[in-house]
Amino acid sequence: MNFIPISQPSITQKEIDYVTDAVKSGWVSSLGEYVEKFEKMFSEYCDTKYSLTTSNGTVALHLTLAALGIKQEDEVIVPNFTFIATANSVKYLGGKVITADIDEETYCISPKAIEKAITSKTKAIIPVHLYGHPANMAEINKIAKENNVFVIEDAAEAHGADINGKKVGGLGDAGIFSLYGNKIITSGEGGIITTNNHALYEKMKYLRDQAMSLEKRYWHTEIGFNYRMTNLQAALAVAQLERIDEMLDKRIEIFSWYHKYLNNINGIKLNPKSENYKNVYWMICVELLNLSEIERDNIMVTLNDKHIDSRPYFYPISEMPMYTTVNAPVTKLISERGINLPCYFDITKEQVVYICKELKKLL
């Protein structure tokens, strides 16, 4: 059996044709028809008024927070269980990262924990749709409204996920997505922000393009950024977005294979499935309920010997040296015992059966 990676992009002739077209056009930087095309298509896909491409998902978060005016000492609530970029984006602006614990079933930020964490200094909440499962946006938006704070969805891992048919990215003040090579769709490196707020969109666009005056070229009144996506990246993204439905269907099918072969095993808990929430299974999640962290790590080493890639769940943000925040018992428990297993468009059923068989043997 060849090595089975945790993730791998699906590149077809369509992607090759569009990227070749972009290269041949000479529009290799951020001007060019694919950038606008991708933004338009993505807005239509998420049912939002505006989309703005960026060079990656991390800067999409930074840009959104900067445009919303987050500054020194402002508090921003993020889940304790997430990729580090969610927290770092707040720190870039001198803001204070307040971590909140997660819901044990969905792995997403707990609305109750948000309520406990809110203070008069809270300016925004960043719920993360972790591993492809949407956060409880109805509750989060309710709390945000009562406390007059912004909601930015971190949908880096959840393109196409929805709640009651409403896609993530259109459920808060803004949403951000990553287009890194291991994401649901990719542009190589890349990101995109969605919003229905015209003023916010204009501000983000302005700051993204070095905050250059619209009236006077090369005149700047603020510190801006170059956070633009290239036309080459956008060409790849357009091809991927045209294929997103088949890619999401495949992920659901892959999850059903894992479910069939692992679900009935004692001591294993798979990705959450909640009514009215569409999970897009960015990663296959396996909680090894009866194992210690060391045993979990040993399982990953042995899987690797069997040519199977895996990765540990994210570690709690509160345990990183830069973030000495409050404890979060649910995050800690889950992060110590979880592993992610391979899930990508071209994986075969035979490979998934092999992975499940080897994992069962180890348990």
Ligand X SMILES: Cc1ncc(COP(=O)(O)O)c(C=O)c1O
Estimate to the nearest angstrom the gap between the alpha carbon of 206 and the chain centroid. 24
Provide the sign of the torsion angle of the four alpha carbons 159, 190, 64, 156, taken in this order: positive
Angle at 320 between CA 132 and CA 331, to 5 degrees: 45
The total of other beta-carbon atoms located within 10 Å of residue 235's CB is 28
The total of other beta-carbon atoms located within 10 Å of residue 283's CB is 23
CB nearer to ligand X: pick between 157 and 358: 157
Question: What Cα–Cα distance (Å) separates residue 7 from each residue in 19, 37, 154, 347, 350?
Answer: 22, 27, 20, 9, 16
Element (H, E) at 288: strand 284-288
Question: Shortest distance, CB of residue 158 to ligand X, whole angstroms?
Answer: 9
CB nearer to ligand X: pick between 158 and 291: 158
CB nearer to ligand X: pick between 135 and 356: 135
Question: Shortest distance, CB of residue 260 to ligand X, whole angstroms?
Answer: 27
Question: Shortest distance, CB of residue 277 to ligand X, whole angstroms?
Answer: 17
Question: Shortest distance, CB of residue 59 to ligand X, whole angstroms?
Answer: 7
CB nearer to ligand X: pick between 181 and 267: 181
Per-residue DSSP letter, 313: P
Question: Shortest distance, CB of residue 114 to ligand X, whole angstroms?
Answer: 17
Residue nearest to ligand X (CB): 57
Contact residues toward ligand X (CB under 6 A) are: 56-58, 82-83, 85-86, 128, 154, 156-157, 178, 180, 191
Residues 6+ apart with CB under 8 A from 359: 262, 286, 299, 303, 341
CB nearer to ligand X: pick between 43 and 54: 54
CB nearer to ligand X: pick between 170 and 268: 170
CA distance 168 to 166: 7
CA distance 119 to 99: 13
CB nearer to ligand X: pick between 50 and 314: 314
Per-residue DSSP letter, 54: E
Contact 174, 186 (CB under 8 A): no
Question: Shortest distance, CB of residue 7 to ligand X, whole angstroms?
Answer: 11
Question: Shortest distance, CB of residue 305 to ligand X, whole angstroms?
Answer: 27
Question: Shortest distance, CB of residue 356 to ligand X, whole angstroms?
Answer: 25
Take residue 102 and report the two structure tokens written for it: 């997660």
Question: Shortest distance, CB of residue 108 to ligand X, whole angstroms?
Answer: 11
CB nearer to ligand X: pick between 37 and 311: 311
The values of phi and psi at residue 308, to 5°, are -115, 120
User: How many Cα atoms sit within 13 Å of 237 on the Cβ side?
Assistant: 32
CB nearer to ligand X: pick between 7 and 48: 7
CA distance 151 to 169: 11
Question: What Cα–Cα distance (Å) separates residue 206 from each residue in 64, 173, 310?
Answer: 12, 18, 40
